[in-house]
Every structure is written in C-alpha cells, then in structure tokens.
Amino acid sequence: MLAQPVLSQLEQIVGKDNILTSKMDMVAYSYDATADMPKQTPDVVVFPQSSGMVQAIVNLAREHKVPIYSRGAGTNLSGGAVPVKKGIVLSFQKMNKIINIDPDNLSAVVEPGVIIGALNAAVAPHGLIYPPDPGTVATATMGGSAAENSGGLRGLKYGVTKNYIMGMEVVLANGEKVRFGGKTVKNVTAYDFANLFVGSEGTLGIITEITAKLIPAPKFRRTLVGTFKTLADAGNTVSGIIAAKVIPATMEIMDNMTLRTVENSAKIGLPTDVEAMLLIEVDGMSEDVVTAEAEAVKEAVIKNNGTLSVAESDKERDDLWAARRNALPALAQLNNTVILEDATVPRSHITDMLIACQDIGKKYNLTLGTFGHAGDGNLHPTILCDKNNKDEMERMHKAVDEIFAAALSFGGTLSGEHGIGMAKMKYLKDEIGESGVELMRSLKAALDPDSILNPGKMVPAPAEA
C-alpha cells in the first residue's frame, strides 16, 4: 500500500478526476489480455495528460522507489501490462490526441493513447494509411503498440511497428524528457533511439509522444484462397509465390484443426478434409501490376496441387476472409483457456514448424490448432485447455516449452509480435544466450537503475534467468 502523502501528491499532479484508488478499480487494472498469467492489483491508477505530468509522477515514484507500469488499452499478450510488483499504473487512455497530420511529410504526431484505428480513420481522407495492423487495431493504442513493437497481418509487405516510428518523446526513469527523430526520412543523428525504445515494453522509458510514418493507401487489391491436401503443398506455394517475385500484403495460413473448428462453429462451407488453407491478398497502386501478381499467385497455387477460389467482389472477399477472422474466436470457444503463442520461423521452415506443432499437440494430447502469418513465418500455435484441470495445464506448459525449442531449432525466434513480458522471460537465454541477457541487464541498469519501470518484465533478474 502506498503511503497517503504519496497518493496525495499524485492527486495534486493529475487532479482528483484522474486518479483511482478503490479496491474495485484496482481489480479492473490487475490483468491484461494474456492467459495463464499471475494477476496483481496496483496500488493506484493515474491518468496523466501531459509529458510534464508523467515527469512529475516518475520523479515522485523514484523518490519513493515505487514501480510504474505504463498501460495503453491493456491488450498485451505476454503479461507486460500486469502490475506484478504493485505500485502505480500509468494509464494513457486519456492522453489520446492526434497532435497533427502532415500529408506533405507523410507523417502524423500523436499522443500515446491514440487508438491505432482512430489514427487510420483520421488519415484516410488524405489517402494515407498507418500500416501496422495487429488484431487489436480497434482497441490498442499507439503507445502500447510502439512499446510492444506489434506486428499483424501485413508484416510481410509492410513491416511492423518499428518500421513506422520516425520519432519520439520519452520520459526517462531519472525524470528527464528526451526527444529524438522527427519528420525527416533520413536521420542518423545520435544513436537510433527509436529502435531502442520501440519494443522495450515499458522497461526503459515512458513514451509520451510518437511521430508515425504514413504511406499512400494502395488503390487496388485482389484476394485469393488456396486449399491443400498436404502441408508441404501449402508451404511450397508460399515459397513459389515469393520465388515469382510477388510480395503479398497478407499471406495467412490455417491448419486442418483450425479449419474444422471454424467450420464447426461458423458453418461457412470450408473444406474440412484439407490439411491447410492459404488466404492471400495482393495490393498496389496499379491495377495491371496487381492483376499480374494475382495471376502469379494463382499459378503457384495450382502448380502445388491447390484448389483455388478468387474473390470477384467485396462480398466475396468478405466471405474468403470469414475463415481467417473466425480462426481465433472459433478455437477459443472450445475451452476456457486460450494459450496463443507467436513463435516465428524463417519463411522456408513454415511447413516444418506446422508439422512440429501438430506433433507436439498429439504428443501431449492437447487440443492445438495453428494459424498465422505464413508470409513472414509468424505462426500462432493455439492450445485450448481447461484452467481447472491441473494435469492438462502441466501438459500445456511442456508443449509450450517444446514449441519454442522447435522454433529456435529452425533458426526462428520466441516471439514474432507479442513480446517477452512475463510469459517468455524464462526462454530468453535460449535464444540470445547468457551474454545477450547480460546486455539487456546492462541497458536496463543504465537507464533505470532503481528498476521502477515495469519491473519483473522482459529483463530477467539474475536469479530468474
């Protein structure tokens, strides 16, 4: 429990309408969207509305050695937003203004609480888009997605959040404010701080403003679906499309378990006797190019023994997307706990990874479906289990260990887009080694010596590694 004088000072900083302390309110800020994570109630939630307020809060927290957890919309999938060591939740839900949109410089300056979808709605009249599109675009904030370096469905062609952050204002643990980057395309002044803070999960500094890069919205698109009798055919199609020099905007894959589950719940006429489905969308500024790319995709599907469907209208496109949209919801309805992983492999190992996930599911007798972003190798093996079944939960934990080991054995990574948080901290050294973990500790100690910024996340304490 925080001492009353600290609470009073917090209230003085943000105003009485921007602080929560009741027991009930604390329950509402005790979780994020990650399954199977410890919950913890914070001592207080504050809603700063300027970087000055954030600085004052940080100074107060440092003086009293109280942890601070920055929080956007709390849609995190690695336990990063849970106030696990109690203290102050710094919610950016009310610091949500779009400061300016600059079509000449293809950029926008936003406060961290701006919803990704709201930014896209605001730039659409200028014919522009902000491409990163995690599944939570309608709810997640710019600050949260920058801190987590979110990915999404368009990663293959358009990249991820880090490719769209041009500049930032960050409040450091010492209370200083630093601005770097800006609206210029080229900028090699100083270290590349943007890439340090993007994906730092709130452990190195607190993002208080973001300059985001925008691009012209593609004018044309074509959507195609291929279904395959073997995973190898699907994997070869992915390789074949890339070999034909086509980079689709999205290239999504769903395995048989996922397809059967979707069909069972949504009844949309999916084939349930195929091993995989690919949903492919090509887009661009010229109709000719997009048509030629769609033709190349068709050829690759047919050459690899796939059955093809092509959307001729928006309605048909919606129908083709229905399967992908329903993947997680349909799987999630199978049980009360959804373990959604994001192990990622080089594209050429997609087939190997899909087979490995299926085998692991069978080995531990678990309900496991895999879908994900085949084009960038980012898969979502999803395990459905019963949190009240201790034996099943233990088998699930073992399966998750093996999934990560498999991804690393194929030259992949623990996390493509969800982050490390609490969920994957113990695997960190398996990927980057003890020296990598030590490097993280050094950075953390340099920037946050009192460990007040999102403690217990991402950077393992010596005993935890």
Partner 1 sequence: MSTEAAIKEKVSYFEELEAIRAELDKCMKCGNCMAVCPVYGAEKLETSVTRSKIAVAEAVLDGQLELDDPQVYEMLFNCLVCKSCMSNCPTQVNFERIMLALRAALVRKNGLPWLKKMIFATLKHPKLFDAGMRIGAAMQPLAFRGEQDGRAMAPRSPFALVGKGMGMDGERLLPSTTTKPLRERMPEVVTVQDATMKVAFFTGDSLNYFYPEAGEDLISVLSANNIEVHIPKEQSCCGTPVLVHGDVATVRSLARKNIDAMDKSGCTYIITGCGSCGNAWQHDYPELMAGDLVYAAKAQYWAERTYDISTFLTRVITMRPPQGRVEQVVTYHDPCHLKKGMRVCSEPRDILKNIPGLTFKEMKAPDACCGSGGSFVLTHYETAASIGKKKADDIAQTGAETVSTGCPACMMQLMDNMHRCGQDKEIVHYISLLAESYRRENEATKKN
Q: Which is nearer to partner 1, 129 or 137 (CB)?
A: 137
Q: 130, 145 in Cβ contact below 8 A? A: no
Smallest separation (angstroms) from partner 1 to the CB of 57: 18
Closest CA to 55 of 18, 13, 8: 13
Pairing assessment for the beta strands 88-91 and 68-71 based on DSSP bridges: parallel
Cite the DSSP H helix spans in 229-313: 231-243, 256-266, 287-303
Q: Which is nearer to partner 1, 81 or 128 (CB)?
A: 81
Smallest separation (angstroms) from partner 1 to the CB of 27: 5
Smallest separation (angstroms) from partner 1 to the CB of 167: 25
Smallest separation (angstroms) from partner 1 to the CB of 347: 28
Smallest separation (angstroms) from partner 1 to the CB of 385: 12
Q: Which is nearer to partner 1, 118 or 242 (CB)?
A: 118
Interface residues with partner 1 (CB under 8 A) are 20, 22-25, 27-33, 35, 45, 73-75, 91, 93-94, 96, 113, 117, 136, 138-139, 328-329, 332-333, 336, 338, 387
Place of tokens 């500094």: 205
Q: Which is nearer to partner 1, 73 or 108 (CB)?
A: 73
Q: Which two tokens stand for residue 438?
A: 């030590």
Q: Which is nearer to partner 1, 65 or 387 (CB)?
A: 387
Smallest separation (angstroms) from partner 1 to the CB of 293: 32
Q: Which is nearer to partner 1, 117 or 159 (CB)?
A: 117
Rg over CA atoms, the chain? 23
Smallest separation (angstroms) from partner 1 to the CB of 161: 18
Q: Which residues contact 7 (CB under 8 A, 6 or more apart)?
A: 19, 21, 44
Closest CA to 164 of 219, 111, 210: 210
Q: 275, 237 in Cβ contact below 8 A? A: no
Q: Which is nearer to partner 1, 94 or 317 (CB)?
A: 94
- For residues 262 and 270, give the distance between their C-alpha atoms in angstroms, rounded to a whole number: 8
Q: Which is nearer to partner 1, 31 or 404 (CB)?
A: 31
- For residues 242 and 373, give the distance between their C-alpha atoms in angstroms, rounded to a whole number: 14
Q: Which is nearer to partner 1, 64 or 94 (CB)?
A: 94
Q: Which residues contact 197 (CB under 8 A, 6 or more apart)?
A: 146, 147, 168, 170, 204, 205, 207
Read off φ and ψ for residue 101, nearest 5 degrees: -115, 130
Q: Which is nearer to partner 1, 35 or 247 (CB)?
A: 35
Residue 7 burial (C-beta neighbours within 10 Å; 0-12, 13-18, 19+):
middle
- For residues 81 and 78, give the distance between their C-alpha atoms in angstroms, rounded to a whole number: 8
Smallest separation (angstroms) from partner 1 to the CB of 21: 10
Q: Which two tokens stand for residue 446?
A: 């340099």
Task: Give Cα 194 to chain centroid, integer Å.
Answer: 17
Angle at 327 between CA 326 and CA 333, to 5 degrees: 85
Smallest separation (angstroms) from partner 1 to the CB of 286: 31
Smallest separation (angstroms) from partner 1 to the CB of 125: 13
